[in-house]
Structure 1
Amino acid sequence: MDNRKRILVAPLNWGLGHATRCIPIIRGLLDHGLEPIIASDGDALALLKKEFPQLRFVEFPSYKIQYAEKARYFKLKMLWDTPKILKAITAENRQTKKLVESLGICGIISDNRLGVSCKKVPSVFITHQLNVLTGTTTWFSSKVHQKVIKKFDECWVPDVKGNPNLSGRLGHLAKEDLKVKYIGALSRLNTLDHEKIYDLMVLISGPEPQRSMLESKLLEQLTSYTGEVIFIKGKIEAEQEITQKNNILVYNYMNTMQLEKAFNQSKLVLSRSGYTTVLDLAKLGKRAFFIPTPGQYEQEYLAERLEQENLVPYCKQEQFELKMLERVSDFKGLSAVDSELDLSTFFGLFQGK
């Protein structure tokens, strides 16, 4: 009989970043004799099923997040979608409480799923957004988010507490009144000794329609690129598809081992400026160029901050041209961070320590 304590791990399905940064958490739980039960929806759930086919999975209600086609409508679209998001949060909270009872859950780790908590067991919220940037409404959105975070026993921020750090004012408060623990640069990837065979690695993901719009734009422009390219679309589908278009090797998606190898074989990375991607690039000490998702304040902030610090250049999606990649040589690149991630002290919350 399996007597391991069961921990519910629930990443938000908003792009793939929340799911991928839960991979080292899930590995850590297994290494510490705990049993992860994974709950999510959509591509996030599909990705984790491919990574951990031996584990138990639960499908949660979808937040049904979709971006506006034009950046100026981003906030309006999110406001329009708020009622269905709130409905999903209420439903997942009911489902969480039932799962605690039916599966004997002993602890919860929610990566930005606002309704996944239960007063009966220790509950952790993972986020790099203690402040939620929404332009003129940043103060309000941040206070609302912080109020939700207070429902959890602890808040784990994937960053370091002091300076220099990766998340800036996203993950650091002027006045700390939350139970925040900084758990370091959370990444599923490691540096490997591989020969560089790709001049450029393109990695995109995120909600539609912006993901597809960037994919089409980049594939069209790359027809004139002379170097070797590996292009990962970030589309989680039933079967992995690999196609070669002249000098461009295209994957619909990659598992962690494949992605880790591709990163290490590439000289330069072109991607969104999502925080999980920033963590991965920092872990590997890679040079990159960022194209933030139009209208997404968090990605725009991170891209602007890293350019100002002379680490990574960026440009807006509609302005991108291949020749801009030449700017990378003028920037320092992200420095490799400590690859040792010790989660044992944090898991003590679930083991009565």
Structure 2
Amino acid sequence: MKQNKQRILVAPLNWGLGHATRCIPIINALLEHGFEPVIASDGVALTLLQKEFPTLSSITLPAYNVTYAKKGKHFKLKLIKDSPKLLQAIKAEKKAIKNIVNLQDIAGIISDNRLGVYSKKVPSVFITHQLNVLSGSTTWLSTKMHQKIIKKFKVCWVPDTEGDINLSGKLGHKNTFDIPTKYIGPLSRFEKQAAKPVNKILVLISGPEPQRTLLEEKLLLELKNYPEKVVFVKGVMEKEQTVQVKANMTIYNFMTSKLLEKTINESELVISRSGYTTVMDLAKLNKKAFFIPTPGQFEQEYLAKRLTKLNLVPSCKQEDFTIDKIEDIANFKGLKAFDFEANFEDLFSLFKRE
């Protein structure tokens, strides 16, 4: 008699596209190892994964609806103001998960930064690259709060390597951490291809509003008269893909993985946010880049500064960016991947039925 495949709920946070895209290699690995992934998220993150995996079942979870402040210095204040709304969403999420686990015959849960997606009934995994949650003077408090949530899960997976040569720096590495933790290596949905450069610049934007739009408007203006070929991906998930050609620039609302992989491989340099998923993707593809961190987002500011200090990727504040700054790239090494194969057989053994 054929045994039914175990159903594993994969639930990325809907905050930009990074959490969803780094779940793609995990969903593919689950399929390869004979599991049946069930996707759960909301908004653009859910839309993106539905486009990538049209045959898998998916569930809409309560939305966190967190937006960024217009000014970076108000970022923390805005988050505090939004926190009652966030706590309400997490409460609703916990309730939804209870029903989903019972009704959908879920055998395990993988939550990428969704704080209420766990169950006492089945093994639950939390994915994060932030064992330290940077928030300026309140880093100790935000880290403590985050740890309290991670403790509700059976194990924490960190998408990085454990040693000194790593991508996340102090974000993903703590001296003492009493929660079962596994370093699973950088996660990327992409593969490096030998491709001749077709585009000089590829612009990749994503992330919550209004900062996504503010950067889009600034870069469109800066690149308007740029003489070489530019591909501009806005990171706006819509039902249909749209493409506009304006002189030297080809503008997409979004790209699915295959086209994006091809386009990054064919581009000489990338201008983007310094979100951790972007860092992992560009390292895998050995790319030269220029980073513009989201104003007020401590994590992205830290990653951009760290990679600039290591002489890998130049960066600057959003308000300071001008197209001339990309000339700095020539003096930086660019990102490089280090060979690390995730042992999914071992990681998924958590879900195997006794």
Could you tell me how far apart the structure 2 residues matched to 1:329 and 1:336 are?
Answer: 19
Shift of 1:168: 0.7
Could you tell me how far apart the structure 2 residues matched to 1:224 and 1:330 are?
Answer: 24
Could you tell me how far apart the structure 1 residues matched to 2:322 and 2:133 are?
Answer: 30
Does the CA contact (< 8 Å) of 1:283 and 1:339 recur in 2? no
Alignment partner, residue 283 of structure 2:
282
Shift of 1:174: 1.3
Does the CA contact (< 8 Å) of 1:157 and 1:180 recur in 2? yes
Shift of 1:342: 3.4
2:87 paired with 1:71? no
1:42-81 mapped onto 2 (5 Å cutoff) = 42-81=43-82
Does the CA contact (< 8 Å) of 2:185 and 2:341 recur in 1? no
Shift of 1:292: 0.2
Alignment partner, residue 98 of structure 2:
97
Could you tell me how far apart the structure 2 residues matched to 1:116 and 1:325 are?
Answer: 41
Secondary structure of the 1:224 match is coil
Secondary structure of the 2:268 match is coil
Could you tell me how far apart the structure 2 residues matched to 1:146 and 1:313 are?
Answer: 32
Between stretches 316-325 and 223-232, larger displacement belongs to 223-232
Does the CA contact (< 8 Å) of 1:285 and 1:337 recur in 2? no
What per-residue deviation string (whole Å, max 9, x for no partner) do you get for residues 194-237 of structure 1? 22100000000000000001001000110121111111000000
Alignment partner, residue 113 of structure 1:
114
Secondary structure of the 1:218 match is helix
Alignment partner, residue 221 of structure 2:
220
Identity of aligned residues (%): 59
Alignment partner, residue 300 of structure 1:
301
**TM-score (ref. length: structure 2):** 0.98
Could you tell me how far apart the structure 1 residues matched to 2:306 and 2:217 are?
Answer: 27
Alignment partner, residue 330 of structure 1:
331
What per-residue deviation string (whole Å, max 9, x for no partner) do you get for residues 152-174 of structure 1? 00000000001111001100111
**TM-score (ref. length: structure 1):** 0.98
Alignment partner, residue 25 of structure 1:
26
Shift of 1:100: 0.8
Does the CA contact (< 8 Å) of 2:185 and 2:340 recur in 1? no
Alignment partner, residue 349 of structure 1:
350
Shift of 1:336: 2.4
Shift of 1:79: 0.3
What per-residue deviation string (whole Å, max 9, x for no partner) do you get for residues 5-24 of structure 1? 00000000000000000000
What residue identity is the alignment partner of 1:9?
Answer: V
Task: Point out where structure 1 has 5 or more consecutive residues left out of the alignment.
Answer: none
What residue identity is the alignment partner of 1:118?
Answer: S
Secondary structure of the 1:199 match is strand
2:246 paired with 1:245? yes
Alignment CA distance shift 1:169-1:192 (3 Å): same
Could you tell me how far apart the structure 1 residues matched to 2:114 and 2:227 are?
Answer: 43
1:135-214 mapped onto 2 (5 Å cutoff) = 135-214=136-215
Could you tell me how far apart the structure 2 residues matched to 1:339 and 1:199 are?
Answer: 29
Shift of 1:351: 1.1
The CA RMSD over aligned residues, in Å, is: 1.0
Task: Point out where structure 2 has 5 or more consecutive residues left out of the alignment.
Answer: none
What per-residue deviation string (whole Å, max 9, x for no partner) do you get for residues 115-164 of structure 1? 00001100000000111100010000000001100110000000000111
